[in-house]
Amino acid sequence: MATTEECRAALDKLSDNMRGAEGDVRSATELDRSVSCHITDLDVTFAGRMADGRIEVRETLAGPPREKAEIRLAMTGDDLVALVAGELNFARAWGSGRVKLEAGLRDLFRLRKLL
């Protein structure tokens, strides 16, 4: 099982990958939105902001998100680490329910470019 530190490192790597993206993927990362990522097996939530092509984690909270972020993710720590490492396909994981993504309709259309 992935640790809180490994999950935080995976989010930092995802942020770095987003920063280096180009084309349609880059435009999808340029949203300015609040973000939360609930790691279900650890019952930890990383909360922050997606802005300027990066994800800035501002808080690590025990339990589920306290506020409803504009973009909300939920998954196990192992799935987060595997997604960022390219070992788990996001679309398949989302379709099977392993990963939950909630956002407004416009944001979902933009974020699909990242998939």
Q: Which of 66, 109, 81, 115 is nearest to 95 (CA)?
A: 115
Residues listed for the chain: 115
pLDDT one-digit tens code per residue, 56-115: 999 999 999 989 999 999 999 999 999 999 999 988 999 999 999 999 998 888 777 665
Interatomic CA distance for residues 33 and 95, integer angstroms: 23
Q: What order do you get walking across the sheet with 44-51 strand by strand?
A: 54-62, 44-51, 33-39, 71-75, 100-103
β-partners of residue 80 are none
> What pLDDT, on a 0 to 100 scale, did the predictor assign at position 68?
95
pLDDT one-digit tens code per residue, 10-44: 999 988 887 777 776 666 667 899 999 999 999 99
What domains lie within the chain, and their CATH numbers?
Answer: 4-114 (3.30.1050.10)
